[in-house]
Every structure is written in structure tokens, then in C-alpha cells.
Amino acid sequence: MLHRARDRARVAGLRSVSPGTGAALRLLAASVDAKAVAEIGTGCGVSGIHLLHGMRPDGVLTTVDQEPEHQQSARQAFRDAGFAGNRARFIPGRALDVLPRLADAGYDLVFCDGDRQEYQDYLAESLRLLRPGGLVAFEGVFANGRTVDSGPQPTEVLRLRELVRTVRESTELVSSLLPVGDGLLCVVRR
């Protein structure tokens, strides 16, 4: 079923998480015994399927995307993958409008795959959403190698570098940039 979701994403011109990143997401969701996960950037549902596989069988994925048609596609992908309708809550809208409406300390894991320029804001919102010991993961932090390239870079890349610096310098956070896919920055709130 994953291949169908990947094909739909390709047709829609969307990047989906790589198989390696998907496997890591599944592992991370299982390792925090996730009952509640928030995702920014539903896309066509590839990352969501991996997260749902790693979560508890009664866990609910809350997934946010500004494009309702992407969410329709993901809804179909979750159904095709055999997940009951009540395993996912789809919220259409811009991440920074929706996240403030989600419950404080109500989530075990947050996965960020929306607008790279907003990742610092997603971090601030995630730290409010996560329970102590919860985990936030950011997709695409290598930016195809540009994050570590010393040449001039666009704002998006400079923002990603700032994000890496922020989490490394924080005494409240434990982080690791996993070399899967295009770089998955994982951050645990102590």
C-alpha cells in the first residue's frame, strides 16, 4: 500500500519520506509507546503510514496540512493500509494557525515535514505539545547536503542550521541528527 501512496505523491509533485526515514519513524513511535502523535505535513500519507505502524494499536495520529486534497489522498492511503478511520484526525490549515489549538503536553511524538522556514517555530510549539520525555523529529535537515556546505546558501538552509544550533546548545534537549533519507533531526525533551 505504501507504493500506491508514494505514486500518488509523485504525481502530485510531493516528496515523501524515504524508506529509511519511514523505518526510523516507525521505530521512534514504538520506542515512546506513542498513543498520540502530531504530524505537520500530511502529504499523501507515506510518513503517516509508518508512524501508525509504530504507534500503539489504539493510538491516534493528528495530522496537519494546508492542502485539503493532500489529506484526502492520505485518508485513502491509510484506509488502503488497513487502518480504521478513528486512528487519524485530519486538520486542514497552516501549521502555525493550527498548532496553538492543540493540547499542551498531549503528545508523545511530533513529526515535522511542513515548511522548512518555519521549523524553529515548530520546535517552540512542539516543546509545548510534548509530554516530558516526548520526542520531536524534523525531516530534511541535510537539505541535500547544503546544510554542511560552506558556500552561500538560501534562507531556508540558514534557518535549518540555526535549528541544529538551537537544539545542540539547549541544556533541556537531547538531540541527534540521524543520517537517514535527507537527515532526520531527533530531539528529546528531558
Ligand X SMILES: C[S@@+](CC[C@H](N)C(=O)[O-])C[C@H]1O[C@@H](n2cnc3c(N)ncnc32)[C@H](O)[C@@H]1O
List residues binding ligand X (CB under 6 A).
9, 14-17, 41-47, 64-67, 70, 94-95, 113-115, 118
Smallest distance, ligand X to C-beta of residue 136, A: 14
CA gap 75, 31 in Å, rounded: 25
Q: Which is nearer to ligand X, 8 or 189 (CB)?
A: 8
Determine the Cα–Cα distance for residues 87 and 78; give it in Å rounded to an integer: 9
Find the shortest distance in angstroms from Cβ 45 to ligand X. Answer: 6
Residue 106's CB: how many other CB atoms inside 10 A? 15
Q: Closest CB to ligand X among 7 and 172?
A: 7
**What is the smallest separation between the CB atom of 7 and ligand X, expressed in angstroms?**
12
Residue closer to ligand X by CB (options 133, 145) is: 145
Residue 70 C-beta: closest distance to ligand X, Å = 4
132-144: buried (b, 16+ CB within 10 Å) or exposed (e) per residue? eebbbbbbbbbbe
CB of 97 to ligand X, least distance (A): 8
Question: Which residue, 137 or 187, is less far from ligand X as judged by CB?
Answer: 137
What Rg, from alpha-carbon coordinates, does the chain have? 15
* Cβ proximity of 23 and 50 under 8 Å: yes
Closest to ligand X by CB, 67 vs 80, is: 67
**Set of cell numbers at residue 5:** 501512496
* 3-class SS of residue 22: helix
